[in-house]
Amino acid sequence: MSVSVVIPCYRSARTLPVLLARLMPVLAGLSVRHEVILVVDGSPDDTWETAVELARGTEGVRALHMSRNYGQHNALIAGIREAEFEVVVTMDDDLQHPPEQIPLLLAALEGDRLDLVYGVAHQEEHGFLRSLASQSVKAGMAGALGVRTARTISAFRAFRARLRDGFEGLAGPHVCIDVALSWATTRVGSVKVHMMERDHGRSNYTPRLLVRHAVNMLLGYSTAPLRAASYLGFLIGVVGLLLGAAVLWHFAAGDTTVAGFTTVASMIAIFSSAQLIAIGVLGEYVGRIHGGGMGRPTYVVSERVGPSAVLDLPRQPAGAGAPVRAGVGSGSDER
């Protein structure tokens, strides 16, 4: 088994040297061919400079510099497409995912029973609101997107590199690696691992951003919102029929009193709200179709540091159908 470790990096200048100092002995102890790919996602601090120093001074480490901040999942797609070895491990850059737990993920992949393994914390390491938002996102993936294993999903994962063939045509600014992996396999498992507290700072995934991520997944990978709008319209229609029947019943009974202004205004507001919700959902889908037609890239790699045969391959636009081995931009490749 050969292993590529992909680490998306953002505001991690302080943690990367510590992470690599712990990670490289673990990979060496596995006695397998390995590489580490640091994907710096447009970080505003000195993360890129730190990654360059590590790539130049550590054998088997490469660094990719995104031209701007595209988001964690976009950075992961970039690193996964650059990976050369047969198993890909993804982990965070904040030391919450202990490198010493990687052998547990790889051991679960041995044999042919599983293609994808998630590392699940023995105990949730986030606060109440953050954990609630995270669980809500996973529940939405399980229900609306049909990802049966969504409740065990985490950013600490190991999978066979061949799974990327299932999403080689994935393009556009809104991507979700876990949904893409679910397209390629159903042989998914999980193992319990010990997660650590963040070394410093706080997570960029606030409850608000998690909700936004959930909306992106629903609109980008599911038609559930359209069905929900249809169900809402049907429900409002039933309410209207019941109200009409009630009015006719009172009229037949001799009660010809005209309903008050408050009742009429409330019903108009309800029907108008349902219409606007349905129009809004349709507008979101049309907007995403329009955005996709503009050809916005999933990512653009501006610089690469580190020796690799992959760097000698022809350049292709990031976001094209074929697996991207090189980004678009005026950056340089350093050996």
* Residue of higher predicted confidence among 298 and 1: 298
188, 237: one domain: no
131 and 159 fall within a common domain: yes
Q: Is residue 218 part of a domain?
A: no
- Asked if residue 25 belongs to a domain, the reply is yes
Cα(119)–Cα(191) distance, integer angstroms: 5
Q: What is the pLDDT of residues 140-154, one digit of tens each?
A: 555 555 556 556 788
For position 252, what pLDDT does the model report? Answer: 78
Q: What would the pLDDT profile of 174-185 be if each residue is shown by its tens digit? A: 788 888 888 888
Residue 155 contacts residue 80 (beta carbons within 8 Å): no
Torsion of Cα atoms, 269 then 274 then 277 then 282, to 10° = -140
Q: Is 215 inside any structural domain?
A: no
DSSP 84: -
Give the Cα-Cα-Cα angle 7, 12, 14 (nearest 5 degrees).
125
| Residue 79: inside a domain | yes
pLDDT in tens, 106-137: 999 987 889 999 998 876 555 555 555 556 66
Domain co-membership, 154 together with 232: no
Predicted confidence band of residue 320 (pLDDT cuts 50, 70, 90): very low
Other Cβ atoms within 10 Å of 208 Cβ, number: 9
Q: For residues 73 and 63, what is the distance between their CA atoms, to the nearest angstrom? A: 17
pLDDT at 247 over 90: no
How confident is the model over 175-227, as pLDDT tens digits? Answer: 888 888 888 888 988 899 888 766 555 555 556 666 666 666 666 666 677 77
Pair (57, 195) in one structural domain: yes
| 185 and 242 assigned to the same domain | no
What is the rounded CA–CA span in Å between residue 1 and residue 103? 12
| 3 state DSSP class of 114 | coil
Q: How much of the chain exceeds pLDDT 90, in percent?
A: 36
Q: Determine the pLDDT at residue 330.
A: 35
275 with 302, same domain: the answer is no
Domain that holds residue 261: 224-293
**Residue in this structure with the two tokens 């590529």, named with its chain if needed:** 4
**Residue 307 is assigned to a structural domain of this protein:** yes
Residues 301 and 286 in one domain: no
CATH assignment of the domain containing 101: 3.90.550.10
Diameter over CA atoms, the chain: 92
Mean pLDDT over residues 17-21, rounded?
95
What pLDDT shows up at residue 40? 96
Looking at the fold, whether 139 and 189 belong to one and the same domain comes out as yes
